[in-house]
Copies of this chain bind each other. A is one copy, B any other.
Amino acid sequence: MKKETTTLKQIATSLNLSISTVSRALNDHIDISEETKRKVKREAERLQYVPNILAKGFRKQKTNIIGIIVPSVIHSFTATILKGILLESEKTNYTTIIAETNNNPEKEKDVLNTMLQFGVEGILMALSKHTRDISPMLLALKKRPLILFDKVSSKIPCTQVVIDEIAAAANAVEHLVNIGKKRIAIIKEREDSYNSEKRFEGYKQTLKKHDLPIDESLILSTDDSSINEGKRLARELICLKDKPDAIFCITDDFAIGVIKTLKKFAIKIPDEIAVVGFSNSSHSTIIEPNLTTVNQPGGRIGKLAMQQMIREIESNEVFGTSKSIEIQTNLIIRESTFL
């Protein structure tokens, strides 16, 4: 379907001006008299002129597109961050393109390259869960600013928008201690998960702080954090001769699964076993008892990441330096730890 695009040229001929004058007039260049500007703008309006972004981008070597790479858009926390990013980008004249990695490092590399080839100004990215080889990111960083959020890696020298995972986890465990729990279990991901290990660290620190023993039998790990794995591991925990009296789950999904299992075996929450999750996903108020969980302000993370990105794009400082932007979290106390 053909479109009747009007160009600068048409405005120029119609007004007996040169193309350059028209261009400058529309861009409010100081060299152009107010009267000419008015005339030009009126004519542009009349002819429904819309600038050809491709030509503009081509000429100025600038696309004003920012790439976003996430494992999956259906993950609710990711979606919340995304929303923050989109909300912020609307205020600017940057558009965004979004791609998924599905937690596949190979795909991650492909997507990254495609985006660079596409000429994005910068890349906002959450690493996939088990990314080990960071060379694609280092390569990208040589060409464009890269900002990590959610799943980050301190080995990549770029700015990272994160929450203080250790403190957040410590705070959650502290709460369990405060309500009188002594045998606190943890359900986490395996060692190659960055965030999981951080939260585990917070868990250990708090136990130590309160002189509670770290019991290996209360530390459970698994590959993917899902409701089903939560169910399964909870079953393991309640089969222990020496049961825990609280379970700290490093994701809400784990926690949901745990609660399901505990209810199935008629274990009282939180009296017998208290449960705390991490993320404050929408599930946490659906499940009963409502879940005590760490609130991660996804929208704010997205917003700050986007703001920082624009800053890095527009200042021509070097952007290959590590920098950490930390977001405050807070623990939301609900029925699963407190009646």
Contact = CB atoms under 8 A, between A and B. Distances in A.
A237 B119 CA distance: 57
Nearest to A143: B3
A190 interface: no
Contact of A52 (B53, B119, B282, B283): B119
A76 B74 contact: yes
Interface in A31-73: 50-55, 57-58, 61, 63, 65, 72-73
A83 B95 CA distance: 19
Contact of A1 (B99, B143, B256, B287): B143
A82 B86 CA distance: 15
A23 interface: no
A256 B117 CA distance: 45
A200 interface: no
Contact of A82 (B73, B142, B145, B318): B73
Given A3-B143, A58-B54, A73 B83 contact: yes
A319 B1 CA distance: 8
Given A54-B57, A74-B79, A119-B54, A316 B100 contact: no
B256 A286 contact: yes
A327 interface: no
Interface centre among A51, A55, A114, A286 (most CB of B within 10 A): A286
A97 B3 CA distance: 21
Interface string A139-165: 000111100000000000000000000
B117 A53 contact: yes
Interface string A269-284: 0000000000000110
A268 to B, nearest CB: 16
A28 interface: no
Contact of A286 (B55, B87, B117, B287): B287
Contacts of A57: 54, 58
Contacts of A12: none
Contacts of A96: 97-98
A288 interface: yes
B80 A74 contact: yes
Nearest to A282: B283
A214 to B, nearest CB: 32
B119 A53 contact: yes
Interface centre among A54, A96, A143 (most CB of B within 10 A): A54
Nearest to A316: B1
A318 B1 CA distance: 7
Contact of A95 (B53, B82, B97, B145): B97
Q: Which 8 A/B pairs are nearest by Cβ-Cβ distance? A: A54-B58, A58-B58, A74-B79, A50-B117, A286-B286, A54-B57, A3-B143, A283-B286
Interface of A: 1, 3, 50-55, 57-58, 61, 63, 65, 72-74, 76, 79-80, 82-83, 86-87, 90, 95-100, 114, 116-119, 142-145, 256, 263, 282-283, 286-288, 316, 318-319
Given A51-B117, A95-B118, 14 more contacts: A3-B143, A50-B116, A54-B54, A54-B63, A72-B83, A73-B83, A74-B80, A74-B82, A95-B114, A96-B97, A97-B97, A256-B286, A283-B283, A288-B288
